Structure 1
């Protein structure tokens, strides 16, 4: 059941988390399935509710820098940067402290941590335990939820409470940056662009998609997938007419859809090539198209610059290989 984020319901959510329950929280990226990050039993409930494999680590969410020092070890030069830019759509990989259960980190000596840029999420974290594990509130491998209604339809009674926060502003998951290597490495493109990171972290580079064993969330090759087969194309001309008539086309720009006439459904990510709008609409449109009675979804490639990298990363992982 979805609850409005009133003062009483925020307190209710915090108490559920302190008692080991699960609460779906709105963030600026996607809705997260929150559980106490200091409680291994709560972590186990997250994995069970999502049907998530235990080798895929969880992101721990915090609301202040004091908690960061309690759960992990961050070099001073990076801590200073994070204190300036958090809250933001940026997750970092850092050495963990023993207060964090092994299940949260999938047995790794490192952990993923971020401070979400959403007032409801921050308030719930502050009033509960100060550290909440919150992967996307959806069954593992399926489309991420960007509305409370997405959470309700996908997880239903598997969780104790869903807090309403409206549509997510960013609409794709956080960028994941590994700070344990000599040079910072982006393990997952997301809501914080590589162009922005390059101004803050010297020498930052992008990960290699051939990575198989995940050291952070979102590294698996198949992820964020609709049930309807999704294929990536350069344009509508790449799809044979006999396939198009039973399929949907998801274009990048509205102003380029005039020639798309053979598909039974058409939609677009952006009015005129705006990457921020494209990212915010991606999962909403994939949810809508996945509910249609169609054979396939054909998604147009998005230029890999700015948030376009995050959009293409999600499309790649959702697509049939």
Structure 2
């Protein structure tokens, strides 16, 4: 019970940090990830600076449901089937973006990667925040994806910028990353084969 209350307190604090433009590290169904307000340009700049990642690298968003995802991307045909079959789950689907997605998010492409995680904390966080959050591994770009807060702290100990808040869920299972599928054309293609094995 105490752990449950502590987690709810952590989620409430994380939502405050997200609303203030900060970067939150938290467990997901694949590894610890970094989230920020995906529709806040300053928050995105901070995320890229913390990760030391080029600003032109596309980044995916996490939402709470397929219905939410449809607000931001065009889900038709196989993209819709994949989402219905595998969400929540370790699957990121790249689809044509809708006008609700601000141009400063992934400005070099006309698509958006969207995911609904199969993870209670992640879903609760994005539901409580009420708007899409980023989903990217909580590491310095090019380094190993972390599966514990100790691994995050070790990576960022000597870095000039650190995440603004970390929800400590202990050490999590070392699962492969999410599978990424590009459904922006008539046929979907696998960009990254991850935990979810697809056959279509």
Query: TM-score w.r.t. structure 2 length?
Result: 0.88
Aligned residues: 193
**Structure 2 counterpart of 1:180, from 173, 184, 194:** 184
Superposition map of 1:157-172 within 5 A = 158-172=162-176
2 CA distance for matches of 1:185 and 1:75? 15
Q: Distance in 2 between matches of 1:41 and 1:8?
A: 25
Counterpart of 1:136?
137
> Could you list the per-position Cα deviations for residues 258-296 of structure 1 after superposition, in whole angstroms to 9, with x for gaps in the alignment?
xxxxxxxxxxxxxxxxxxxxxxxxxxxxxxxxxxxxxxx
- d(CA) in 2 for partners of 1:192 and 1:106? 28
Give me the CA root mean square deviation: 1.9
**Higher RCO, 1 vs 2 (CA within 8 Å, ≥6 residues apart):** 2
Are 1:23 and 2:24 an aligned pair? Answer: yes
Measured in 2, the distance between the counterparts of 1:98 and 1:139 equals 31
CA distance in 1, matches of 2:29, 2:6: 15
96-105 or 5-14, which moves further after superposition?
96-105
- Structure 1: which 5+ residue stretches go unaligned? 203-321
Query: For residues 63 and 5 of structure 1, do their structure 2 counterparts lie closer, same or farther at Cα, with a shift above 3 Å needed?
Result: farther
More divergent stretch after superposition (77-86 vs 138-147) = 77-86
Give 1:103 shift.
4.0
1:78-117 matches, cutoff 5 A: 78-117=79-118
Distance 2:32 2:67 in 1: 24
- Structure 2 distance, partners of 1:141, 1:127, is 31
For residues 174-228 of structure 1, what are the alpha-carbon distances to aligned partners after superposition, in whole Å with 9 as ceiling and x for unaligned?
11001112221111111112xxx11xxx3xxxxxxxxxxxxxxxxxxxxxxxxxx
Compute the displacement of 1:111 (Å).
Answer: 1.0
User: What secondary structure, in the 3-state scheme, does the structure 2 residue paired with 1:68 have?
Assistant: helix
Deviations 1:110-141 (A, max 9, x none): 01111111111111111013311121111111
Assess, with a 3 A threshold, how the Cα gap between structure 1 residues 11 and 102 changes in structure 2: closer, same or farther. Answer: same
Deviation at 1:66, TM superposition (A): 2.4
2:195 maps to 191
Maintained 8 Å contact 1:125/1:131: yes
Q: Secondary structure of 1:24's partner?
A: strand
8 Å contact from structure 1 (residues 148, 164) kept in 2: yes
Counterparts in 2 of 1:137 and 1:63: CA distance versus 1, 3 Å: same
Q: Closer, same or farther in 2 for the Cα pair 1:132/1:5, shift >3 Å?
A: farther
Distance 1:176 1:81, change over 3 A: closer
Q: Which residue of 1 aligns with 2:149?
A: 148
Q: Which runs of 5+ in 2 are unaligned?
A: none
